[in-house]
Amino acid sequence: MKRFSIRRRLLLLLLGSLVLVWAAMLGVGYEKAREEIHELADARLQQGARTLMMLDLKRLARLAQAGESSQAGKGGEAEGRHVEESGAQPLAFQIWGDDGQLLLASAGAPAAPQDLHDGYVTRRIDGRDWRSYSLRDTRHDYRVTVLEPLALREHPANQLAGRMGQVLLLALPVLALLIWFGIGQGLRPLARLSDAIAVRDTGNLEPIRLRRVPAEAQALIAALNDLLERLARSLDKERAFTADAAHELRTPLAAIKVQAQVALAAQDEAGRRQAIEQVIAGVDRTTHLAQQLLLLARFDHVEPGTRQAVDLGRLAADHVAQRADDAIRNHIELELAAEPDCRLAGDPAMLATLLDNLIDNAIKYGRSGGQALVSVRRGAGALLLAVMDDGDGVVAADRARLRDRFFRVEGHAASGSGLGLSIVEKIAAAHGGTVDIGTGLQGRGLGVTVRFPA
């Protein structure tokens, strides 16, 4: 059996789910942040363009010159890149005349051709992606274009994603410890259940009772209690069976011992021979009882093995032919009435034992000079196997006890173990059938009907 830890599996599942959800949230958050940053930056471009539109060319020229001086004073190109990456670089702009000539350009503005479209445009200039916004001043007859590298917009979004990722990495160990502890607390009822099961043995099959039971474990505890109850009933049956078997075997063994002692004490050959014959008869009865006990014990715990299509009529005909000599010795006319093609799925050996027990009872307890009938027919969606005789029968008070083990009706000369009908009922139940006990032929004797599902 492959072993695994529920706690470890739950930890991996929960942590994996958290990481997946967090990664999805990080991705969605990153995209949302980029959208917000782009919207704010576009608004900044538009605002910058409108602000520049309010200035004349002289002021725009002084603004461009001030930008160049500031750029030179901050350390050149390398420092400019640092400022650009930090997001502190002012917007670059171009001023174009109506004739398409570049009138002014701020420090950091790319050498880009004029964009004749008003509004936002994304362009690739000198290997870099730029976002621009253009407006035309109808009063001064020039066009203002404000530009910004797209890389400046990605920097804040990347910083936000990096910080969120750092929080995730720092939080994972803490979450793992909390989940590990929480799962352990949640599984404590299973540990208590294991302790309660560990103290159960054949001497203690009491139902499991816990004060606090989680809803998920209630079905398991109910099934375990049902199993313990069935096991207790099974053990009680086995103890009763063992006690009854010991009692039943004691009587024939005592009789055999007495007859053996008689044979030893006999003075004449005839008395010795008669005692030995009684010993042999007692051994036969004891052997039959032992066989019946073994069959009953086996059928108490074993379901039908190899199921196959069994023709119940043909099986009955074979057993009637086998027991014909026994019926003749008891002066009983044994008959068979079987409809053709009465098949069922079952264990042939078990069904043969069932038939043998029923026919044996009909021959033993039937009336000398009477009849015994074995019938197989279809009726009411079932297969019906009936064995009936016209003997003395059984009174109603005793008929209900015929299913009990070791019960024998008083007043019958025939010997028996009292297990035949118990075995018949076990075999019928194993095949999904039922056993009905009633009167026999012409309202006399005993009739046993086994109903199998068709």
Confidence category of residue 30, pLDDT binned at 50, 70, 90: confident
Reading the block at residue 74, the tokens are 């901050």
184, part of any domain:
no
Residue 408 pLDDT exceeds 70: no
Q: How many domains does the chain have?
A: 3
Instruction: Give me the pLDDT at residue 341, please.
Output: 84
Instruction: Give me the pLDDT at residue 317, please.
Output: 92
Instruction: Give me the pLDDT at residue 176, please.
Output: 85
Task: Looking at the structure, tell me whether residues 424 and 310 fall in a common domain.
Answer: yes
For residue 435, what are the domain limits? 305-453
Which distant-in-sequence residues (6+ apart) come within 8 Å of 134 by Cβ? 49, 115, 116, 117, 118, 119, 121, 143, 144, 145, 146
Quick one: what percent of the chain has pLDDT higher than 90? 5
Task: Looking at the structure, tell me whether residues 283 and 317 fall in a common domain.
Answer: no
Closest residue by Cα to residue 446 from 404, 417, 409, 416: 409
176, part of any domain:
no
pLDDT tens figures, 314-344: 999 998 998 888 889 889 999 999 888 888 8
Instruction: Give me the pLDDT at residue 79, please.
Output: 36
What's the mean pLDDT in 244-269? Answer: 76
Residue 2 pLDDT exceeds 70: no
Instruction: Give me the pLDDT at residue 245, please.
Output: 64
What's the mean pLDDT in 94-103? Answer: 84
Confidence category of residue 374, pLDDT binned at 50, 70, 90: very high
pLDDT tens figures, 59-90: 778 777 776 555 544 444 433 343 344 344 56
Quick one: what percent of the chain has pLDDT higher than 70? 80
Closest residue by Cα to residue 228 from 188, 190, 193, 187: 193
User: Which is more confidently placed, 263 or 4?
Assistant: 263
Reading the block at residue 243, the tokens are 């006690």
Domain boundary among 246, 267, 301: 301
The answer to whether the pTM exceeds 0.85 is no
8 A C-beta contact, residue 61 and residue 126: no
State the CB neighbour count (10 A cutoff) for residue 376: 24
Instruction: Give me the pLDDT at residue 361, please.
Output: 84
Report the range out of 21-25, 53-57, 168-172, 449-453 with the highest average pLDDT.
449-453
Q: What is the mean pLDDT of the chain?
A: 79
Instruction: Give me the pLDDT at residue 80, please.
Output: 39
Domain boundary among 105, 129, 161: 161
Confidence category of residue 345, pLDDT binned at 50, 70, 90: confident
What's the mean pLDDT in 1-25? Answer: 81
Instruction: Give me the pLDDT at residue 85, please.
Output: 41
Task: Looking at the structure, tell me whether residues 222 and 331 fall in a common domain.
Answer: no
Residue 143 pLDDT exceeds 80: yes
- What values do phi and psi take at 97, rounded to 5? -85, 170
Task: Looking at the structure, tell me whether residues 261 and 319 fall in a common domain.
Answer: no
Domain boundary among 104, 139, 161: 161
User: Which is more confidently placed, 63 or 124?
Assistant: 124
Q: Give the β-pairing of 142-149 and 371-379.
A: unpaired
363, part of any domain:
yes
Task: Looking at the structure, tell me whether residues 381 and 265 fall in a common domain.
Answer: no
